[in-house]
Amino acid sequence: MAQEEKESLFTRNTTGLVRQGRWIDAFIFNSSASWMFGSLIFALSSFVFFGGADLISAEGIALVFAIAIALMYAVLTSLMPRSGGDYVFNSRIVHPVFGFSFNFSLTMWQLFSAAFTLYFISNVALGPGLQVLGYYANSLALTNAGTWLAVPINSLIFASIVNVLFTLLVLGGIRKTFSALNIMWAITLLGTFVMIGALVATTHSGFESAFNSFMLKSNGTSTLSNSFAFVQSSVAAPANRLAVPEIAIVADSVIWVFWAAYVAGEIRHANETRRNISSMVGAAVLNAAFFVALVYILYSKVGIPFLSGLTLAGTTSALPFSSTLQALSAVLVLSTGSFYAGLIVLITITLGYSVLLLPALYLQPIRSIFAWSFDRVVPLSWSSVSSRFHTPVVSTVGVFAVIEAALVLITVESNSLYGIFSAAIIAPAFSSIFATSVAALVLGFRKKMGPKYVAILGLVSLAFILFMTYIFLSNESYFFDIPSSGLSTSALVAINFAFIPIGALIYFVSYLLRKKRSKIDLNMIASQIPPE
């Protein structure tokens, strides 16, 4: 009788999800979620503020810690291979309110990040890139198209269309989503090789000449005769030495390789630790290799002084762009030296800077909400699964709606929201890695629950996420004031952690309501591993 009562805690015997993902799908998914173009452009736009430009050493150090984090997630995922990721094993190992509150924070920030990523496709990648292609092709139409896409309201229109398309893709099921991602990843991989080849083939003087010609055509005869020299001298270039904060910044290119944990219920053999390790650690090593190669070649061909100058010149009338991020995207396309190579690189940047991240930014919230619903923390209808496509329908549509609302807010309040986004960049990493590190430590000291070495991985991961958090929160002069958000520094610091107590409150209210209305104990549900 007790056994029957325990088995009846879950209202469904199966989730409705199907293990359609292969090892290669998990590997590509992990690599794409942390693909290095976004972190590369972000790192290049910020190193001048920290007095050091040795991004290569920073990447190497970050990779060591990223491998420990990947190993930790690989072990925990194999113990509880269910969709929902860290919510599932953190709620089972520590406590359901702990698992939910941190996962709720991660999910909210991922939805916000998804909206910005959609916005950046046209505003940061396509817009400036098409302006460069217009220069190479002597095409006013391409130049005007690039200028049009970089306008905020037009970025909203473009982003909304992509939001609809990706929602339809995700609604089609994990198999179709993975197939589309695999194709985009392969194109990005080939394009990255083209980018590296084009950079190797160019010369420093050749790039300088191309930049001066581009500026003359963009800004007219009033342009300085040597715009390259002007940009290069606009700020003192830092020495090529390691600046400790850069370790935290470049880590973005390697730490998100555990994302397959959130769709583990749809990956074959997700219960095998070795497979998880190879798909997660392998993705981190691949991304780091490309990051190091591109940084080395850019330093050699474009130069640290010029890249430093873009940090400030990209936000002034010296360049035909409204942000440093746009300027750096344009430089990557311009450095190819030709229209066709530039076209390939633009496609690569557009995919690698933003589009490749989108499947992870959609699937993580969708599968987390699904897991909450399956545990009855939120309405059970939210975990409704299409019998044809084996994908959660209600949670997918809900995620689409929240992202679309965030896109509108970004467009209307772009200055303040961009400041919040910059200030809260550590929030999703903290929400996921900190909680999972604690769970790994707890697991390591409990008998018969898991391998003891997971506690060591948890300790290393915890040390690194606390280091990253300290770095971001102690450099408010850069992250909080550029651009100004209109909020105090203390408020921006608090925003990073605000969703965690909100999540705890939601769980507590849900617990009381379920207990009173349905006689369901949410804590008892979380004592079991969800069915497949």
Give pLDDT tens digits for 167-206: 999 999 999 999 999 999 999 999 999 989 988 998 999 9
Mean pLDDT of 150-177: 93
- 215, pLDDT greater than 70: yes
* 160, 242 Cβ separation under 8 angstroms: no
Nearest Cα residue to 30 out of 87, 104, 85? 85
Mean pLDDT of 131-149: 90
Q: What is the mean pLDDT of the chain?
A: 88
Q: Confidence band (pLDDT; 50, 70, 90) for 14?
A: confident
- The predicted structure's pLDDT at residue 413: 80
Ordered alpha helix ranges (H), 354-434: 358-374, 393-412, 414-423, 427-429
- The predicted structure's pLDDT at residue 318: 65
For the chain, the straight-line distance linking the first and the last C-alpha, in angstroms and rounded, comes to 23
- The predicted structure's pLDDT at residue 450: 67
- The predicted structure's pLDDT at residue 480: 57
- 222, pLDDT greater than 60: no
- The predicted structure's pLDDT at residue 271: 93
User: CA-based angle 147:148:154, to the nearest 5?
Assistant: 135
Q: Confidence band (pLDDT; 50, 70, 90) for 1?
A: very low
- 444, pLDDT greater than 60: yes
- The predicted structure's pLDDT at residue 114: 93
pLDDT digits (tens, 9 = 90+) for 263-274: 999 999 999 999
DSSP 55: H
CB burial of 433-458 (b: ≥16 within 10 Å; e: otherwise) equals bbbbbbbbbbbbeeeeebeeebbbbb
Mean pLDDT of 494-519: 93
Determine the number of helices (DSSP H) and then strands (DSSP E) in the chain. 27, 0
Furthest-apart CA pair in the chain: how many Å? Answer: 87
Q: Which two tokens stand for residue 255?
A: 């730490």
- The predicted structure's pLDDT at residue 5: 41
Range with top average pLDDT, 39-43, 167-171, 219-223, 336-340: 167-171
Calculated CA dihedral for residues 233, 236, 242, 244, nearest 10 degrees: -130
d(Cα 286, Cα 330) in Å, to the nearest integer?
A: 25
Bigger pLDDT: 85 or 314?
A: 85
* CATH superfamily membership of 15-525: Amino acid/polyamine transporter I (1.20.1740.10)
pLDDT digits (tens, 9 = 90+) for 284-303: 999 999 999 999 999 999 99
The lowest-confidence range among 42-46, 87-91, 480-484 is 480-484
- 125, pLDDT greater than 60: yes
521: left (phi over 0), alpha (psi -120 to 50) or beta: beta
pLDDT digits (tens, 9 = 90+) for 415-434: 777 777 777 788 999 999 99
d(Cα 308, Cα 236) in Å, to the nearest integer?
A: 7
* 103, 503 Cβ separation under 8 angstroms: yes
Cα–Cα distances in angstroms (integers) from residue 396 to residues 15, 260, 368, 406, in the given order: 15, 18, 11, 15
- 8, pLDDT greater than 70: no
d(Cα 501, Cα 507) in Å, to the nearest integer?
A: 10
